[in-house]
């Protein structure tokens, strides 16, 4: 299977706090900004697109409280939602309208193949979908490689926003899961032991990398104990062994930061990376040294996938190049996003790091302090 392209450009008009947006992406994209500026709305937009792909738009809109909650400042202010994206050599565009019963329907939906961008002499091919008035997308239900629309589905199907925030005793990552639930890591880490079990059985090299990386952050950690439950062989729970001890421990014996880091390391070091990894505040609860390791994992993973992550941590931002940074701010009651470049701020770099410039409000998007 050939390597899929990355998201090059995204345009959004009329989605929640985003009135109008046009932005280009690189391999690593770190969104920084204060509380309430719209970072989560931006990250959540990718979930919105995934629901369109899964033909769950109607359900998603209802769960959000209706179109009035999705359109920028409601239907009285915004009567159309439009977005387009380019992931060379393909593209996708959709326009949605509110309905009388507070739903959303398609006005148009189009797939593209931009042949000239890859030296294909056939030029641009436009593939309009017969979705006008439809409540759900007309994209194919399954990906396939012989149709440009199939390429679009293959690319978008990997878009998931990962949240490893819930570390309570009732959190999914601390519960037993089905040992066969290993196709992809769940967005909340709910199938973490089954996913690790699969990697250990089939990808020993990647598994050892995960274990060694965890040991750098948690030196007491020896290895996972990945075995099915004695009482139910279809289930598995996260268990591990402490260095210098024969006792076994489970997920409840890990600190919140440690189990979050385990999820992040597993996500970023897995053998088959998704087309894009989306993370909302991955720094939560992590020690500064763990943040340094996490930033290194971002750089390594970005050779094979694209990363978009939001943060409020100046410490975490410090580990990235200014070209990786996107400033989230507000202007005229709308979220704005500005990609920075090193040339514009090269003089400041002689005195300050990225995080320091952010804290001093030299680049906008004033942060909360660590």
Using alpha carbons, select from 181, 208, 205 the residue that is nearest to residue 193: 181
- Same domain for 14 and 149? yes
Q: What are the strands of the beta sheet with 248-250, ordered from one edge?
A: 221-225, 239-242, 248-250
Q: How far is CA 50 from CA 5, 53, 287, 349, in A?
A: 17, 5, 32, 38
Partner residues linked to 98 by β-bridges: 104
Q: Is residue 265 part of a domain?
A: no
Question: What span, in angstroms and rounded, lies between the C-alpha atoms of 322 and 31?
Answer: 11
Q: Is residue 263 part of a domain?
A: no
Peptide bond into 89 cis (omega under 30): yes
Q: Is residue 330 part of a domain?
A: yes
Q: Is residue 16 part of a domain?
A: yes
What pTM does this model have?
A: 0.91
- Same domain for 38 and 143? yes
CATH number of the domain within which 282 lies:
3.40.50
Q: Is residue 166 part of a domain?
A: no
- The residue from 201, 225, 258 where one domain ends is 258
- Same domain for 333 and 296? yes
- Same domain for 207 and 340? no
Question: What span, in angstroms and rounded, lies between the C-alpha atoms of 311 and 113?
Answer: 34
- The residue from 227, 258, 289 where one domain ends is 258
Q: Which domain holds residue 310?
A: 9-160+274-359
Instruction: Give, for all 370 residues of the chain, the pLDDT tens digit.
Output: 445 568 999 999 999 999 999 999 999 999 998 888 889 999 999 999 999 999 999 999 999 999 999 999 999 999 999 999 999 889 999 999 999 999 999 999 999 988 777 777 777 889 999 889 999 999 998 887 677 798 899 889 888 899 999 999 999 999 999 999 999 999 999 999 999 999 999 999 999 999 999 999 999 999 999 999 888 999 999 999 999 998 889 999 999 999 999 999 999 999 999 999 999 999 999 999 999 999 999 999 999 999 999 998 889 999 998 889 999 988 898 999 988 777 777 777 777 877 778 777 777 776 544 4
- Same domain for 150 and 181? no
The total of structural domains in the chain comes to 2
User: So what's the pLDDT on residue 13?
Assistant: 97
- The residue from 258, 291, 324 where one domain ends is 258
Backbone angles phi, psi at 296, to 5 degrees: -65, -40
- Same domain for 279 and 230? no
Burial category of 305 from C-beta neighbours within 10 Å (exposed 0-12, middle 13-18, buried 19 and up): buried
User: So what's the pLDDT on residue 4?
Assistant: 57
DSSP letter for 333, please: T
Q: Is residue 4 part of a domain?
A: no
- Same domain for 85 and 218? no
User: So what's the pLDDT on residue 370?
Assistant: 46
Question: What span, in angstroms and rounded, lies between the C-alpha atoms of 226 and 217?
Answer: 20
- Same domain for 197 and 294? no
Asked if 217 contacts 289 with a C-beta cutoff of 8 angstroms, the reply is yes
């Amino acid at each position: 299977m050939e390597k899929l392209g990355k998201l090059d450009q995204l345009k959004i008009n009329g989605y929640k706090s985003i009135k109008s947006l046009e932005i280009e992406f690189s391999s690593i994209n770190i969104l920084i900004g204060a509380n309430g500026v719209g970072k989560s709305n931006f990250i959540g937009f990718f979930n919105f697109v995934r629901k369109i792909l899964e033909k769950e738009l109607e359900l998603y809109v209802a769960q959000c409280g209706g179109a009035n909650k999705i359109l920028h400042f409601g239907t009285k202010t915004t009567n159309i939602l439009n977005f387009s994206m380019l992931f060379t050599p393909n593209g996708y565009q959709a326009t949605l309208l509110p309905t009388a019963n507070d739903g959303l329907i398609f006005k148009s939906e189009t797939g593209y193949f931009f042949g000239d961008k890859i030296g294909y002499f056939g030029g641009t091919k436009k593939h309009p979908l017969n979705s006008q008035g439809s409540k759900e997308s007309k994209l194919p239900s399954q990906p396939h490689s012989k149709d440009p629309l199939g390429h679009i589905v293959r690319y978008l199907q990997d878009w998931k926003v990962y949240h490893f925030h819930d570390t309570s005793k009732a959190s999914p990552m601390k519960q037993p899961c089905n040992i066969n639930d290993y196709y992809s890591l769940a967005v909340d880490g709910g199938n973490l032991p089954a996913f690790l079990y699969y990697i250990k059985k089939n990808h020993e090299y990647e598994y050892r990398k995960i274990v060694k990386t965890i040991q750098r952050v948690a030196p007491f950690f020896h290895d996972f104990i990945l075995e099915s439950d004695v009482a139910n062989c279809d289930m598995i729970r996260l268990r591990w062994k402490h260095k210098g001890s024969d006792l076994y421990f489970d997920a409840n014996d890990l600190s919140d930061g440690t189990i979050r880091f385990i999820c992040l390391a597993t996500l970023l070091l897995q053998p088959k990376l998704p087309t894009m990894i989306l993370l909302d505040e991955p720094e939560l609860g992590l020690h500064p040294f763990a943040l340094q390791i996490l930033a290194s994992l971002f750089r390594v993973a970005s050779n094979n996938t694209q990363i978009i992550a939001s943060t409020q941590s100046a410490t975490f931002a410090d580990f990235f190049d200014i070209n990786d940074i996107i400033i989230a701010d507000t202007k005229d009651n709308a979220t704005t996003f500005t990609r920075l470049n090193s040339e514009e701020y090269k003089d400041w770099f002689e005195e300050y790091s990225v995080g320091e410039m952010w804290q001093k409000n030299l680049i906008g998007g004033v942060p909360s302090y660590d």
